[in-house]
Structure 1
């Protein structure tokens, strides 16, 4: 039996907090430090120099490490750099689902009908995410303490808590910004638009380490303020001012989201472009593309396929250009020869390009598959699936067609971008 949504669903739901992910990332990096960095001061200093050179060539993605010869500096660089991205993605998915996804499922309407105010709904969703993010960040701090203890060393529990606080502030800020964007856009465009905005903010901060003309724009991005704190580094600390800026941005964005939600209709964006009116038509479309299975889905998604293809092809060209500039300095480090020999066979440049590019594209293609499945899932609630089944098309036929469509779309993107 299908369970009807209740006010509690909208009030206390927290979507997939990466508690285990945070704990595992910090634990593995803290414990792994003692396996890769060595035990003598000379070995650790040599390891830190190699990490500094490696990070300098990937400054577009990661911030420069501080004291990578220590377990605290290494974990701050490796683990919390990755967790910042993971928590931002989690905030994006959770906020877009809470703001727009639950509207399509009727949960928001049920909660409001039960007497909850719109302001209370926004506040309860934000509060639930704060609780979930805090639990996940504390799990990451616990992983740091356990991993460091496994190496026979210790790290301040206060420093681990400060690292969790900075991570929570970043996640809540990204959550609040996504809430605002979701009020302004349509339900289908909320997640892509919010994702594009967060990606732009991330790139502004990371690219400013390479391009000086982006430095004046860094104060606009929450990732800049997160990087000001390095509590796990020896003699490092939590930047209280930067953390308070993140909290202030989160509060301001949540307030704007509540105001926007107050003045928009449920299911509609606050801002919408004027569209020309046209008489309603109930005639069957004459285009042959809508009558052929698989082709009709590809025709409907032609713009999205074009955008994904052009985007991946552009990234592929950038990776090709950057490969030589990245590999040449790395080959001068004797300590990395053993590392390269583990995955490079034959010519170093094509092998290195294939290693980093294939790993990166796997992540992007996974994101593409998730967005496609999410779009098909939304058709279950907006009535399109019922319309397709009444054509008539069997349920097995719908599943098979979607699998083939996804495979063809992935093949097109891979063939052009590769």
Structure 2
């Protein structure tokens, strides 16, 4: 009887102890989940970075809105027709780049987004798993002339195309380099059994005719170097034959007359990268910043010319984009329109520049980038997510007392602004944007070998 009376009491006390422990643990977990963390450098950095991005977006939107009202119908043109041929073409280019990316790294599982910007909200993303670049590329290019015009990133995409065809056609495509690139006759494998085309003559002197391209189902591809897409109507203009120093960047621009090739092309791929900082900045002279208006607000103090403030670099990138880049692009588009390049038969594509990831070229990630991860905890952002790349870069800089690499910041802000602007401007001319998530690197050196 004694044990029968004691046992319920001990069980009751044990149960009460378990309940108390569970309650205390639940309370601690609840407080940990709901409590607001103490504001530190990381949260403050992301707040500042987000504020700067919001300011940049507002500046661009206001600029486009005011220019549209002033210019009236100056940008008026046919909207991009999303026909099946255009969609298939861009899908093939996307799959081509993804295939090259996977051949470089077995761990690179990247998708690409192709933008058909008929309006700001209409963005279509395609998964590389559904793209068959081996079969669709030549069918999309059959009988067509493809011309690529632009600077470094366009040339790299040109190398990716040659590398792809080299592997699948089993032949080498000679390229003498950016400034002396000749035409390339691609997609001949499907035509080797065609009686019309019995042997492959040397293509160094004379390119195949349109009739020959159609008969053989092949394609003619050529690259033209033009750092700023300078579109002067006179092929004999001195800018095309003598060293041409850009008035704003003070850096030599390599320009080639390309309007004639653009008129003949069935598919035209254009691209222009951001401005580089003036050469004097590499000696520590950033005096050009003192004459640039502030777009990010007056809350930052002016710094000596040898120690630029990162907000001053942002202001300089905004000025370079709005006051120099966009007017020059307007002149390029006007020249294309005057030369009849905006028509139903020709497909015009703009290849979007990719940002630079600090520390990526050295094979390692910047320590600050590892420390200040995005709130979602994700790793290095995709190059196609320009906002995430710039947000992280600005967050890192807002916690650093000294700006060690202002040139990368200057470059990345321009990449972000250019994309933001061009996706609003180019659709009015019927131009599609092609944005790649994979980081384009130079194709194998054997692509350019003779």
TM-score range, shorter chain: under 0.3
TM-score (norm 2): 0.24
| Greater share of strand | 2
| Greater share of helix | 1
- The structure, 1 or 2, with the larger RCO (C-alpha pairs under 8 Å, 6+ apart) is 2
Instruction: Mark the structure with the bigger radius of gyration.
Output: 2
